[in-house]
Amino acid sequence: SSFVRNFGLPFCRMSLDSPLVAVIGLGGVGSHCAHALLRSGVRRLRLVDFDRVSLSSLNRHAVATRRDVGLSKVGVCASHFANISPGSTIDARDEMFTADAAAALIGGSDRPDLVVDCIDDLPTKADLLAHCVETAIPVLSALGSGGKGDPTRLCVGQGLRDIENDPLASKL
């Protein structure tokens, strides 16, 4: 496998081959996150976003090019990822996450083992986090840097209560 160098022991590979990870929001944060997950060996990804690639978003997007302007972000990512890892399962959902769509997108018998929240709209982010908490789906939430320019000052917390000086997090 082209990813064999990523892992020293077979049990490490097994732990990434089978879980389903859903990345909600495929903009400047989510596209990089999904790309890194795939290249790290995650073989089952569900990508959810309703938006299209725009000329102004090319500087942030992980895989989009000028040729992709106007195309769906999930379609662009899925196509690119298929060329990197043809054996992976990429479930591309070209739709907006809403509270009403939550069960269909991340619920039911094929619910993800992990959700990565890369949404930049506050009410939608709150709906996603509420659904994950209510249904006991583990979730990682990407927030802004809180106006910080020094990445060495950023900290990873256990929950939103641990976050300081981030206007978005304080509203959640």
Q: Which one, of 45, 60, 43, lies nearest residue 1 by Cα? A: 43
pLDDT in tens, 45-102: 999 999 999 999 999 999 999 999 999 999 999 999 999 999 999 999 999 999 999 9
- Structural domain spans, the chain: 4-141, 148-172
Q: Which one, of 59, 17, 62, lies nearest residue 35 by Cα? A: 62
Integer angstrom CA distances of residue 49 from 27, 125, 152, 159: 8, 13, 30, 24
> What pTM was estimated for this model as a whole?
0.85
pLDDT above 70 as % of the chain: 73
25/50 Cα distance (integer angstroms): 8
Asked if 85 and 43 count as a contact pair (C-beta separation under 8 A), the reply is: yes
Which CATH architecture group holds 4-141?
3-Layer(aba) Sandwich (3.40)
Quote the tokens at residue 2: 């082209």
Q: Would you state the pLDDT for residue 111? A: 94
Q: Are strands 44-48 and 20-24 parallel, antiparallel or unpaired?
A: parallel
Q: Stretch 139-155: mean pLDDT, rounded?
A: 70
Q: Would you state the pLDDT for residue 10? A: 53
Asked if 116 and 23 count as a contact pair (C-beta separation under 8 A), the reply is: yes
73/76 Cα distance (integer angstroms): 5
